[in-house]
């Protein structure tokens, strides 16, 4: 049976066409999968970093006694980051891709589609992540910070040692969500000629005029990728929860 499938030379139904196409254009689909993963993983990770930076910036407070220049500077980067988040959340990624790719190329910089694709993903993810991080920070009880502040810890250190570790744990599901969204959203990057999965299906489908079958192939690939990552994230989340019990320090048991 398996042997017959792999040697279909003259496909007659859609299923056989799927087998035929994926066999004939295996390297194209594999390369498309690789590029999709590459852009999604790199774009998401860098986007997370950007999102955390912006989220932290938006949480900065100004003290009355701060230097004038520091006050101005903080206010300025806050305004810049707010504008950035607003712009990227309120425009479609497909339009951002076109504008960034052609815009940067117009200035004479030789930007490859893949780099542009990663850049768009980073900027888009960063904007959404910034809001998620801000929400995550806001979900941590103010008392956690006051406890640290009251012992002389600076707001920045408090953010890194106390607030962010807790916020991070709370927003893991949202981060997983963002990654899965990105994995699928890379498909819009075909408009700037990134040879990812969608582009591969488009090309393959065009060769035989078998669009339905061709897109079904990548649908399966997208599904498997997302399904596997979903399971992995589930495991990570479980692991991060930590133990329910703790060991008594028996060496100090007489002290109660």
Partner 1 sequence: MGESVLSIQNLSKSFGDHEVLRKIDMDVNAGEIICIVGSSGSGKSTLLRCINKLERQTTGKVMYHGKEVRDVQREINEYRAKVGMVFQSFNLFNNMTVLQNCMICTRKVLHISKAEAFDRAIAHLKEVGMAPYINAKPAQLSGGQKQRVAIARSLCMNPEVLLFDEPTSALDPEMVGEVLNVMKELATTGLTMIIVTHEMAFARDVSTRTIFMDRGFVAEDAPPSELFTNPKNPRTREFLSRYLAG
Which residues of this protein are in contact with partner 1, per CB under 8 A? 63-66, 143-144, 146-155, 157, 161-162, 165-166, 169, 242, 245-250, 252-253, 255-256
CB of 187 to partner 1, least distance (A): 38
204, 25 in Cβ contact below 8 A?
yes
Nearer residue to partner 1 within complex by CB, 11 or 135: 135
Nearer residue to partner 1 within complex by CB, 2 or 242: 242
CB of 66 to partner 1, least distance (A): 7
DSSP single-letter state for residue 187: G
CB of 133 to partner 1, least distance (A): 16
Nearer residue to partner 1 within complex by CB, 41 or 153: 153
Nearer residue to partner 1 within complex by CB, 86 or 141: 141
CB of 162 to partner 1, least distance (A): 5
Q: Which two tokens stand for residue 208?
A: 């035989």
Separation of first and last alpha carbons in the chain: 72
Nearer residue to partner 1 within complex by CB, 112 or 154: 154
Contacts of 97 (CB under 8 A, 6+ apart): 116, 117, 120, 188, 189, 191, 192
User: How far, in Å, CA of 102 to CA of 16, rounded?
Assistant: 40
CB of 126 to partner 1, least distance (A): 25
| Residue 41: strand, helix, or coil | helix
Q: Which two tokens stand for residue 32?
A: 């498309």
- The residue with tokens 């920045």 is 156
């Amino acid at each position: 049976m398996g042997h017959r499938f792999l040697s279909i030379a003259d496909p007659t139904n859609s299923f056989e066409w799927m087998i035929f196409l994926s066999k004939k254009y295996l390297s194209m689909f594999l390369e498309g999968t690789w590029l999709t993963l590459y852009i999604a993983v790199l774009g998401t990770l860098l986007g997370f970093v950007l999102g955390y930076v912006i989220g932290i910036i938006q949480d900065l407070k100004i003290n009355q006694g701060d230097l004038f220049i520091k006050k101005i500077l903080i206010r300025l980067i806050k305004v810049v980051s707010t504008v950035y988040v607003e712009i990227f959340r309120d425009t479609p990624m497909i339009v951002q891709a076109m504008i960034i790719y052609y815009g940067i190329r117009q200035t004479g910089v030789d930007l490859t589609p893949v780099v542009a694709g990663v850049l768009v993903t980073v900027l888009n993810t960063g904007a959404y992540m910034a809001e998620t991080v801000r929400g995550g920070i806001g979900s941590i009880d103010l008392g956690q910070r006051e406890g640290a502040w009251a012992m002389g810890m600076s707001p920045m250190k408090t953010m890194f040692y106390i607030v962010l570790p807790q916020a991070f744990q709370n927003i893991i599901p949202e981060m997983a969500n963002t990654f899965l969204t990105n994995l699928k959203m890379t498909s819009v990057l075909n408009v700037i000629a990134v040879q990812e999965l969608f582009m591969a299906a488009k090309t393959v489908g065009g060769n035989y005029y078998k669009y339905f079958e061709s897109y079904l192939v990548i649908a399966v690939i997208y599904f498997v990728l997302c399904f596997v990552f979903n399971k992995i994230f589930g495991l990570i989340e479980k692991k991060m929860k930590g133990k329910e019990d703790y060991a008594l320090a028996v060496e100090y048991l007489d002290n109660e």
